[in-house]
RNA sequence: AGAUCCGUAGCUCAGCCUGGUUAGAGCACUACACUGAUAAUGUAGGGGUCACCAGUUCAAAUCUGGUCGGGUCUACCA
């Protein structure tokens, strides 16, 4: 017996997926999809490593769907796509997790728990949820190689990172410097930005803020200020710059004042409200209102006394910030520890920078390079040096007079603590150096462990000099295909433009150690690039330095490149001095950014040979990546570090195309968070709705880069609308193909021998292939998915199958029937291949069901066959156009029927279609039969102009006319609106028409207007676009009888079905008490018999056991039974 | 604070690049129809200040500038 198509009770996507998953596992379908393409052009994909110490969420499903579908698509296009998985295993989140679990803090590490034991814990925690990740990977159908993933904590991986660092070191791109970092004096440690982002670290606090007065020095350049001041006063004028701070303790370390180059500043004559001395002050114009009352402007200076409430003030001059650049001022708080010499630069000058705002303060920023990142940056730019007058405990250093050794904040919980900030303010007030002192409430970061305010403090750190190749990185970025484009140009482009050097240092424990050893004086250093190199150096140091040096590592060499082991190692410098490792770890982002190299590890042969790229195969054919994809939050993370390292190491991009997907929000548009309890469990979602429906929904609902409002209702819709329809279409084919034994054994019927509708759906199908391929090639899977959806729903199911249903169940196994089968089969088979990248399970299931019978492909899985290619010969635009006409015409007629309440089963005589041009008529003629049967009408008549029935409508063609006429459009449009039928005819006949607009002649061309038929007087009409149809609604007695017959057929069919007969069962029918229906039955008897597969149709006078039914409100009795004949 | 994306029907989204005169789908809702795909399907209907303001233009959902609201990233600094 021939193989049968599988038939099902109902669509059950999760069940299908379980079945397909088992098949994939059994046949190693993924491995095969790679090995089958051995020798083919590689398509290179990099997997961004997830961290397996947390559970996977639904947002992981979207980015992985994206990655998966591209890789599957490219595989089907004939490329070999290797997909090495990876795990990100270092970093703070892991450490914090372990600390929490053990109930310890960072200080305990090395004290209550050894670094060795701690790191062991981290190592165990790292892959805690690996099983869950593997599970979701499998269930969501993500094909990635999990058997041999790269793992960032492995020695081989770290070794490669070291090699990369060494290369940077050799290029002089690795340097040690201070940077301003958040620092907790109470805890004695720097804080990462991640730690600063812990909830609750930013608190509203009230600090003593002071507007300090920095005394200007008179020079040739600042003369304009002093001259202006002089004019307003007979006294020897003093000029002060006002600068605001909420951290007065930074004032002794002040070395500069920063102003905005384009901010407007004013010089104001007034009095110091504390000392009541006359002063001239500089501040931003916008901020005058903060310090001066409007009523005081140009007030009575002479009458001013200490009791005067309202300060008199007057503007002496104004100027841009630019004018102040380089001007000098007197140091505010000079002490022996804070001399210009100690600063190491040329301090006490006015600087320009754009970070200055006029939101608050004075528009002049007090700049202490040691205690602010912006301060540091601008300070460096101008070379004003640096003074760090606070030590790591948070107290002032010696040599600051009365402030020496006082804590700048109450870090020790001293009950007798006196706020040094207040004392500084008081001192300034007394010295005529404070303009305003007040408590100021603002949000300030606190250490999440000690609850004490954080300082920004200069700390030693290692940097990669990314700024050295900034221009090159910008240039290389321009060659990268960003999806969406704006992310690459905007977010990423700006980021590159404003790049700073990459701070590599992390003072933590679990991570890649910096492979740099230094002598204590810092004069000699060594960067180690491989395990072997380290072992050699270990032995050398032992020999040179002797003693106990490195004894543990002499025998087997170093076995683990992590802390604490590497810290034990002492190396020896060229001059014979001991060298110790720089204690920092490196930023985890370096780990992932170097994955193109480290995922393969070092090839020691190549290394020995001095290869520039000493990485194991298949690195050479797998760099750079053709494609990567991650969430948009990685723009400045992974996307950046990959790019930076590619450019730094090899002057190359690391990836050619990058897709950044947006965030997944909940259905109300809120971010998903555990706290809000609105997270979607990907396991549950996939179990309930199936991975395919989930994937399809994620991809088609919104462009990947738009943020997605995740709504389970949307998945349900996809399931019903798309997969349900496709499933039904397959069921339909299976049902009849099994009856007829269709297995695509016959030769394919040539296209020109197939009916119009078959050629049409095949034309549409090939158009679809073309468009879907273009969309995928452009990394627009959303477009691709929506195109397929439209085709399946609109074209295949709602038009082709609906119109062709009869062809499948009616009549013999004829050429026409075979053509229908072949056509529908080809559509389904092609769709299974088109959707395979997005919905891999259902596609393979559908493909398997079809191919299992026909064996048209030898491949066992849709993922091993090639992607369909469009056959241009099958595409016929005119055909697609006229089918659209047919659909529109049918829709119009059905609409008209509806209006007059004549059901479709009632045949009608004719419709009229006015045609104004012969092409449309020719097009309509070819689809006439389809329209007639769809709307159950006997004939179509075409009305041409000559008939004189048509009433026409004319409208200006704005697009064509607008260009030519411009301003006259309105008048012309109105004139055209007034055209009579005769005017229209004349225009049509002569091809042009003379108008007069604003007393100027104007020739109107025929192509500059649109003429449509609007009405046929006396008929029911309806139109859409340029198509108009009229319906003859007269039901003649003949038509009514035919309608009755069709209605009766319908009733008998229903009885057949209710009785559960097979499709092919023959029946016998008896009709009784036919009454007025008798004539219909007599006349259409043969038709009725054929339709209901009746061998006998008999009318009797009395039918005792007949079932009473109604046919068009006329009663009749029917008796149906299976025919006795076989 | 800066950068960026988004704002069109009750909901999810097209259309915007390339301006053109009835602004479209699907879901949901209502009514009707169909009934050999039937837990399917068709037709029709209601539903829109295209976030707001200004500009450019004969013409703006579409181009320009700004405002407001939402998301994200980067900062959080005087």
Does pLDDT of A1125 surpass 70? no
Helical H runs in A292-393? 340-343, 373-382
Per-residue confidence band for A433, with pLDDT thresholds at 50, 70 and 90: very high
Q: How long is the CA A486 to C1' B6 vector, in angstroms?
A: 13
Does pLDDT of A500 surpass 80? no
The confidence score (pLDDT) of residue A198 equals: 59
Does pLDDT of A418 surpass 60? yes
Distances (CA, A) of A602 to A8, A83, A372: 54, 19, 41
Nearest Cα residue to A1021 out of A1007, A1009, A1006, A1032: A1032
CA distance linking residue A1125 with residue A1067, whole number of Å: 9
What percent of chain A is modeled with pLDDT above 90? 33
Say whether the CB atom of A697 is under 7 angstroms from strand B: no
Distances (CA, A) of A712 to A118, A701, A719, A721, A868: 42, 12, 11, 14, 32
For range A503-525, the mean pLDDT: 90
The answer to whether residue A49 is catalytic is yes
Does pLDDT of A809 surpass 50? yes
Does pLDDT of A2 surpass 70? no
Does pLDDT of A331 surpass 60? yes
What letter does residue A42 receive in the DSSP assignment? B
- Report the side by side order of strands in the sheet with A189-190: A189-190, A174-184, A455-464, A502-503
Nearest Cα residue to A380 out of A389, A370, A390: A370
3-state secondary structure of A931: helix
Classify residue A426 as exposed, middle or buried by CB count within 10 Å of its CB (0-12, 13-18, 19+). Answer: middle
Nearest Cα residue to A203 out of A375, A472, A446: A446
Per-residue confidence band for A880, with pLDDT thresholds at 50, 70 and 90: confident
Q: Closest nt to A1057 (CA→C1')? A: B36
Per-residue confidence band for A704, with pLDDT thresholds at 50, 70 and 90: confident
ipTM rounded to 2 decimals: 0.84
CB A912 within 8 A of CB A943: yes
Does pLDDT of A909 surpass 80? yes
What letter does residue A747 receive in the DSSP assignment? P
Q: How long is the CA A199 to C1' B40 vector, in angstroms?
A: 52
Per-residue confidence band for A235, with pLDDT thresholds at 50, 70 and 90: low
Nearest Cα residue to A836 out of A276, A232, A20: A20
Does pLDDT of A764 surpass 70? yes
Does pLDDT of A1079 surpass 90? no
The confidence score (pLDDT) of residue A827 equals: 94
Beta carbons within 8 Å of A107's beta carbon, 6+ residues apart = A187, A188
Say whether the CB atom of A184 is under 7 angstroms from strand B: no
Q: How many CB atoms lie within 10 A of CB A23?
A: 16
Per-residue confidence band for A237, with pLDDT thresholds at 50, 70 and 90: confident
Say whether the CB atom of A1060 is under 7 angstroms from strand B: no
Two tokens at A58?
A: 């639904």
For range A910-928, the mean pLDDT: 85
For A225, the enclosing helix (H) or strand (E) is helix A223-231
pLDDT digits over A559-611, tens only? 999 999 999 999 999 999 999 999 988 988 899 899 999 999 999 999 999 99
The mean pLDDT value of chain A amounts to 86
Distances (CA, A) of A1033 to A354, A911, A924, A1019, A1038: 78, 9, 21, 9, 14
pLDDT digits over A934-948, tens only? 888 888 888 877 666
List chain B nucleotides near protein: any atom < 7 Å from a Cβ.
Answer: 1, 3-6, 11-14, 20-22, 26-27, 32-44, 57-59, 70-78
Two tokens at A920?
A: 């449309």
Nearest Cα residue to A638 out of A646, A650, A630, A626: A630
Does pLDDT of A1091 surpass 70? yes
Q: How long is the CA A667 to C1' B10 vector, in angstroms?
A: 15
The confidence score (pLDDT) of residue A980 equals: 82
Question: Between the CA atoms of A237, A241, A245 and A248, what dihedral angle is there, to the nearest 10 degrees?
Answer: -50
pLDDT digits over A949-972, tens only? 777 778 788 887 877 777 778 788
Q: What share of chain A is helix, strand, coil (3-state, %, to 5)?
A: 45, 20, 35
CA distance linking residue A86 with residue A16, whole number of Å: 29
Distances (CA, A) of A767 to A764, A787, A847, A877: 5, 10, 21, 9
CA distance linking residue A265 with residue A259, whole number of Å: 9
Q: Closest nt to A373 (CA→C1')? A: B77
For residues A100 and A242, the model is more confident at A242
Q: How long is the CA A333 to C1' B60 vector, in angstroms?
A: 62
Query: A68, A88, A666, A876: which one is catalytic?
Result: A88
The answer to whether residue A215 is catalytic is no
Two tokens at A1108?
A: 């009473």
pTM: predicted TM-score of the whole model, two decimal places: 0.84
Say whether the CB atom of A810 is under 7 angstroms from strand B: no
For residues A220 and A189, the model is more confident at A220
Beta carbons within 8 Å of A220's beta carbon, 6+ residues apart = none
The answer to whether residue A634 is catalytic is yes
Beta carbons within 8 Å of A810's beta carbon, 6+ residues apart = none
pLDDT digits over A818-840, tens only? 999 999 999 999 999 999 999 99
Does pLDDT of A1013 surpass 80? no
The confidence score (pLDDT) of residue A1126 equals: 46
Half-sphere exposure of A19 (CA within 13 A, CB side): 12
Q: How long is the CA A10 to C1' B39 vector, in angstroms?
A: 9
Does pLDDT of A1 surpass 60? no
CB A250 within 8 A of CB A457: no
Say whether the CB atom of A1080 is under 7 angstroms from strand B: no
| Lowest-confidence segment of A198-212, A907-921, A928-942 by average pLDDT | A198-212
3-state secondary structure of A233: coil
Count of helices and strands (H, E) across chain A: 38, 38
Distances (CA, A) of A423 to A208, A335, A402, A437, A723: 10, 16, 10, 11, 75
Q: How many CB atoms lie within 10 A of CB A442?
A: 13
Per-residue confidence band for A27, with pLDDT thresholds at 50, 70 and 90: very high
Residues 615-674 of chain A sitting with CB below 7 angstroms of strand B: 632-633, 635-637, 662-663, 665, 667, 669-671
For residues A770 and A916, the model is more confident at A770
Say whether the CB atom of A1059 is under 7 angstroms from strand B: no
The confidence score (pLDDT) of residue A531 equals: 95
Does pLDDT of A523 surpass 50? yes
The confidence score (pLDDT) of residue A348 equals: 93
pLDDT digits over A168-200, tens only? 999 999 988 877 888 888 777 777 666 666 555
Per-residue confidence band for A204, with pLDDT thresholds at 50, 70 and 90: low
Say whether the CB atom of A193 is under 7 angstroms from strand B: yes
Say whether the CB atom of A243 is under 7 angstroms from strand B: yes
Q: How many CB atoms lie within 10 A of CB A844?
A: 28
């Amino acid at each position: 017996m021939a193989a049968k198509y599988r038939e099902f009770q109902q669509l059950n996507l999760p069940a299908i997926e379980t079945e397909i998953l088992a098949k994939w596992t059994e046949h190693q379908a993924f491995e095969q999809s790679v090995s089958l393409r051995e020798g083919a052009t590689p398509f290179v994909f990099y997997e961004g490593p997830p961290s397996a110490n947390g559970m996977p969420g639904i947002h992981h499903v979207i980015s992985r769907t994206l990655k998966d579908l591209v890789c599957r698509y490219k595989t089907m296009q004939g490329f070999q796509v290797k997909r090495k998985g990876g795990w990100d295993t270092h970093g703070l989140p892991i450490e914090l997790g372990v600390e929490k679990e053990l109930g310890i803090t960072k200080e305990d590490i090395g004290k209550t728990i050894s670094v060795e034991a701690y790191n062991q814990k981290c190592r165990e925690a790292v892959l805690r949820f690996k099983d869950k990740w593997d599970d979701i990977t499998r269930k969501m159908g993500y094909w990635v190689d999990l058997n041999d993933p790269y793992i960032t904590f492995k020695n081989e991986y770290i070794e490669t990172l070291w090699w990369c660092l060494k290369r940077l070191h050799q290029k002089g791109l690795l340097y040690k410097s201070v940077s301003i970092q958040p620092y907790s004096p109470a805890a004695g440690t720097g804080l990462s930005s991640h730690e600063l982002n812990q909830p609750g670290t930013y608190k509203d606090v009230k600090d003593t803020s002071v507007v300090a007065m920095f005394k200007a020095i008179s020079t040739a350049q600042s003369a304009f200020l002093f001259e202006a001041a002089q004019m307003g006063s007979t006294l020897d004028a003093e000029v002060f710059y006002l600068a605001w701070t909420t951290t007065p303790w930074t004032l002794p370390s002040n070395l500069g004042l920063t102003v905005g180059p384009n901010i407007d500043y004013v010089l104001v004559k007034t009095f110091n409200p504390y000392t009541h001395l006359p002063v001239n002050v500089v501040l931003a114009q916008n901020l005058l209102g903060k310090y001066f009352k409007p009523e005081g402007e140009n007030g009575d200076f002479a009458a001013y006394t200490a009791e005067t409430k309202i300060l008199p003030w007057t503007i002496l001059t104004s100027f841009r910030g630019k004018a102040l650049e380089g001007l000098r001022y007197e140091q505010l708080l000079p002490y022996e520890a804070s001399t210009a010499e100690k600063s190491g630069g040329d301090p006490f000058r006015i600087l320009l920078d754009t970070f200055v705002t006029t939101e608050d303060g004075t528009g002049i920023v007090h700049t202490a390079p040691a205690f602010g990142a912006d301060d540091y940056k601008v300070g460096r730019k101008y070379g004003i040096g640096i003074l760090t007058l606070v030590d790591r405990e948070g107290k002032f250093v010696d040599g600051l007079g009365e402030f020496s050794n006082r804590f700048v904040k109450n870090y020790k919980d001293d009950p007798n603590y006196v706020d040094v900030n207040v004392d500084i303010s008081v001192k300034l007030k007394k010295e005529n150096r404070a303009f305003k002192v007040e408590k100021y409430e603002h949000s300030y970061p606190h250490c999440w462990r000690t609850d004490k305010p954080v300082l920004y403090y200069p700390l030693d750190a290692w940097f990669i000099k990314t700024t050295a190749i900034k221009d090159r990185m910008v240039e290389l970025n321009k060659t990268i295909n960003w999806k969406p484009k704006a992310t690459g140009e905007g977010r990423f482009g700006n980021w590159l433009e404003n790049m700073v050097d990459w701070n590599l240092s992390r003072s933590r424990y679990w991570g890649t150690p910096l492979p740099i050893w230094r002598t204590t004086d810092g004069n000699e250093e060594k960067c180690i690039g491989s395990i072997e190199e380290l072992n050699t150096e270990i032995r050398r140091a032992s020999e040179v330095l002797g003693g106990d040096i490195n004894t543990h590592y002499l025998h087997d060499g170093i076995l683990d490149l992590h802390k604490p082991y590497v810290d034990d190692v002492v190396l020896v410098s060229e001059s014979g001095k001991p060298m110790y490792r720089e204690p920092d770890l490196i930023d985890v982002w370096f780990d992932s950014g170097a994955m193109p190299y480290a995922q393969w590890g070092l090839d020691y042969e190549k290394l020995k040979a001095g290869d520039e790229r000493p990485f194991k195969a298949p690195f050479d054919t797998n760099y750079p990546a053709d494609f990567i994809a991650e969430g948009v939050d990685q723009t400045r993370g992974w996307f950046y570090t990959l790019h930076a390292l590619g450019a730094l190491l090899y002057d190359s991009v690391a990836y050619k195309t990058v897709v950044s997907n947006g965030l997944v929000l909940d259905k109300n548009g809120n971010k998903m968070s555990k706290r809000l309890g609105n997270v979607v469990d990907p396991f549950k979602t996939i179990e309930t709705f199936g991975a395919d429906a989930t994937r399809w929904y994620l991809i088609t609902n919104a462009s990947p880069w738009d943020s997605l409002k995740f709504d389970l209702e949307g998945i349900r819709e996809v399931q019903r609308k798309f997969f349900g329809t496709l499933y039904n279409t397959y069921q339909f084919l299976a049902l009849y193909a099994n009856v007829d034994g269709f297995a695509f054994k016959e030769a394919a019927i040539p296209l020109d021998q197939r009916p119009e509708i078959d050629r049409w759906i095949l034309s549409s199908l090939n158009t679809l292939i073309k468009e879907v391929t273009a969309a995928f090639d452009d990394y627009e899977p959303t477009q691709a998915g929506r195109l397929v959806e439209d085709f399946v729903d609109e074209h295949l199911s709602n038009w082709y199958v609906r119109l062709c249903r009869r062809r499948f169940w009616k009549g013999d196994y004829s050429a026409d029937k075979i053509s229908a089968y072949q056509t529908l089969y080809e559509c389904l088979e092609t769709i299974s291949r088109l959707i395979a990248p997005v919905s891999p399970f259902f596609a393979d299931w559908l493909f398997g069901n079809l191919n299992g019978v026909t064996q048209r492909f030898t491949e066992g899985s849709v993922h091993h066959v090639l992607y369909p290619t469009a056959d241009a010969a099958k595409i016929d635009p005119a055909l697609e156009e006229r089918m659209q006409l047919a659909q529109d015409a049918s829709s119009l007629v059905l609409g008209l029927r509806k209006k007059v309440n004549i059901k479709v089963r009632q045949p009608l005589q004719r419709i009229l279609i006015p045609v104004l041009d012969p092409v449309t008529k020719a097009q309509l003629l070819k689809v006439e039969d389809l329209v007639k049967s769809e709307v159950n009408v006997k004939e179509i008549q075409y009305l041409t102009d000559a008939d004189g029935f048509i009433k026409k409508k004319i409208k200006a063609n704005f697009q064509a006319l607008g260009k030519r006429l411009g301003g006259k459009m309105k008048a012309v449009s109105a004139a055209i609106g007034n055209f009579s039928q005769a005017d229209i005819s004349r225009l049509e006949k002569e091809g042009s028409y003379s108008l007069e607009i604003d007393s100027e002649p104007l020739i109107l061309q025929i192509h500059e207007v649109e003429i449509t038929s609007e009405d046929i007087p006396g008929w029911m009409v309806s139109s859409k676009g340029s198509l108009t149809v009229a319906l003859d609604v007269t039901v003649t007695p003949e038509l009514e009888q035919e309608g009755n017959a069709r209605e009766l057929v319908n009733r008998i069919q229903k009885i057949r079905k209710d009785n559960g007969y097979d499709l092919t069962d023959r029946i016998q029918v008896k009709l009784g008490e036919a009454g007025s229906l008798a004539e219909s039955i007599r006349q259409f008897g043969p038709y009725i018999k054929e339709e209901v597969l009746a061998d006998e149709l008999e009318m009797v006078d009395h039918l005792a056991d007949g079932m009473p039914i109604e046919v068009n409100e006329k009663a009749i009795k029917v008796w149906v039974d299976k025919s006795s004949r076989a």
